[in-house]
Amino acid sequence: PLSTKHIRTPIVALVISVVIWIVSCGVALQMFFVYTVRNYTSEDVTVCSDDWAPNYDHRRIYFLCLFLIGYIIPLISIAVPSALLIRQLWSLPVTEGPGLRGSNRAKRRVTRLVIVIVGLFFACWFPMHAIWMSVNWNPESWSRNYSYWHYYSRMFAQTLAYANSAMNPVIYAFLSTQFRKGF
């Protein structure tokens, strides 16, 4: 990770950002074609929901792709470089003397920070994707036994996933003295 400085340039960052935006828009564009307004006159309710008829398998494929693109690939993209960073950090030669104790403490702090960031991404986004996979591969259990628990679990999982973005600056503030000094 530390030896890839020649790859981490503004042009590469721009290209990666553009590709991410194009893929994100492409994934989201699918919803434009499948969402519809439904009126439930018996309950006097109108909802906007997806309608994948006549082929429900397309929904499964879509959510499987969403799981891969929105969870697995980002998790790997975060976890692998983080693991390499930690390995590189701990393999650096350490000089004996009074600085050894402080050096090890700094390494432990960085390791803890990286593990917390990766762990929070995993923990915050997994429930939402697990529910989506459950709904798509076992829809009968959700439609037959749908309850407030199902509704609130989906809302909680979605809120938790979105909250992950707000957590990172807070985690950096609590776990990184250098980050705090910057403010």
Backbone angles phi, psi at 45, to 5 degrees: -130, 140
Task: List the domain boundaries for the chain.
Answer: 1-51, 54-182
Architecture of domain 54-182: Up-down Bundle (1.20)
Inter-residue contact 85 to 1 (CB < 8 Å): yes
* 51 vs 171: CA distance, rounded Å: 39
DSSP letter for 47, please. E
* Dihedral class, residue 97 (left if φ above 0, else alpha if ψ from -120 to 50, else beta): left
Q: Print pLDDT tens along the chain (183 aa).
A: 556 777 888 999 999 999 999 999 998 898 888 888 888 777 777 878 888 877 778 888 999 999 999 999 999 999 999 999 889 888 877 666 666 666 777 788 888 888 999 999 999 999 999 998 888 888 776 665 666 777 888 899 999 999 998 998 888 887 777 655 655
Structure tokens at 15: 């290209």
* 83 vs 96: CA distance, rounded Å: 26
**Alpha carbon of 39 to those of 35, 36, 142, 154: distances in Å?**
13, 10, 20, 22
- Longest CA span, the chain: 78
Q: Give per-residue pLDDT as tens, 147-175.
A: 677 788 889 999 999 999 899 888 888 77
* 159 vs 65: CA distance, rounded Å: 21
Radius of gyration of the chain (CA): 22
**This prediction's pTM:** 0.76
* 39 vs 37: CA distance, rounded Å: 7
